Amino acid sequence: MSHNKVVNGNKMPSSKEVALLAQVSQATVSRVFSGQTNIREQTRLRVLEAAEKLGYRPNAIARGLTLNRSNLIAIVSINVVNPHYNVMINKVADRIQKLAREPLYFVCSEEKKLDEIISQVLQYRVDGIIVLSAAVSTQMAAECEKIQIPVVVFNKYTVNNNIMTVCSDNVKAGWMAANYFHSKGYRNYAFIGSNTFLGTSKDRLRGFKDALFEKGIEKCEVQMVPYTYEAGGQAIREILSEEKKIDAVFCAGDMLALGAMDTIKYEYGLKIPEDIAVIGFDNIDAASWPPYSLTTFEQQIDKMLDTTFNYLSKKLNGEAISEGVELFECKIVERSSVL
């Protein structure tokens, strides 16, 4: 039975017809379109010219069934409005295509429903799964291991024997933020985190508080809010409305920081960084805009992707590689929101 469909009443050409026109075997046509390199260049060009003349396009689904693989790698992310994640998803998709695979994108409304989404993902017989900023349950990780589908959790710290975790060192970043503030002479601290990415925010807060404790400082005002610009403004409003003496705010994401900065300046008439200094996280494009000039953290996304796709590539090629956790240090991008 042919898997090619009929368009405008005409039967789509088959690989057999391409083979006849190019005077090669049908297997050679298949090898050309699967990207194999052990083919003479003259033969490859003859096949491509024949395919172009006939208007032939290979059927990726049929080929996947024949080879017992889909050539699909799933990207699963939490539904959140964050410019940083848009950039990250685009980079992940680009790397997938460089592996001669295609990305299949799924959005999960909240982290606790992640297992349900991954169950749906498995129905597509994907070759691998990349989960962005969310933790996979032990049970689901074991299920993926059982059916030999490699899983990478990207940008979320989690420990699981059946998956690879690639993540920024969020605890150390928090520690660095506190020390940076302290070195600039700030002494009264607040932290604005996100309950959208609660685990990551808690890691950054833990490092922040650890550094303060090392300096004999135990007091730090904390707000956990949704990851939005508006919530960042509301969080700093809650802190300042209690007449707390705050001169340094570490925000777990740039969107929170931008909302907090506008509220500080335009509602309270305070100056940044003279009255209150602000540090963000992610280094989104808006962080560098002149009205903000936000000091922030930048993650080593490209190096993290190198590790992710080195792991996936070896797994997909049947090579031995260990799972585990690999952490990457973040760097501070200095601008004028801190003295």
> Residues 278-296: what's their mean pLDDT?
97
Please say whether the beta carbons of 71 and 285 come within 8 A: no
Which comes out higher in pLDDT, residue 277 or 142?
A: 277
Give yes or no for residue 266 having a pLDDT over 80: yes
Q: Across the chain, what does the average pLDDT equal?
A: 89
For residue 311, pLDDT beyond 60: yes
Alpha-carbon Rg for the chain in angstroms: 25
Q: How do residues 203-238 score in pLDDT, each as one tens digit?
A: 999 999 999 999 999 999 999 999 999 999 999 999
Bridge-based pairing of strands 6-7 and 10-11 is: antiparallel
The DSSP code for 190 is E
Q: Which residue has the higher pLDDT, 317 or 165?
A: 165
Which of 117-121, 197-201, 267-271: highest mean pLDDT? Answer: 267-271
In contact, 37 and 22? CB cutoff 8 Å: no
Residue/partner pairs of 17-24 with CB below 8 Å, 24 or more apart: 17/54, 17/56, 18/47, 18/50, 18/51, 18/54, 18/56, 21/50, 21/53, 21/54, 22/46, 22/47, 22/49, 22/50, 22/51
The answer to whether residue 325 scores a pLDDT higher than 90 is yes
| Reported confidence tier of residue 69, pLDDT bands at 50, 70, 90 | low
Walk me through the domains of the chain, giving residue ranges and CATH numbers: 6-62 (1.10.260.40), 67-169+301-328 (3.40.50.2300), 170-298 (3.40.50.2300)
Q: What is the largest CA-CA distance in the chain?
A: 83
CB 160 within 8 A of CB 172: no
Would you state the pLDDT for residue 270? 96
CA distance linking residue 140 with residue 53, whole number of Å: 48
Element holding 102 (H helix, E strand): strand 102-108
Q: Is the pLDDT of residue 61 over 70?
A: no
Query: Is the pLDDT at 2 greater than 70, yes or no?
Result: no
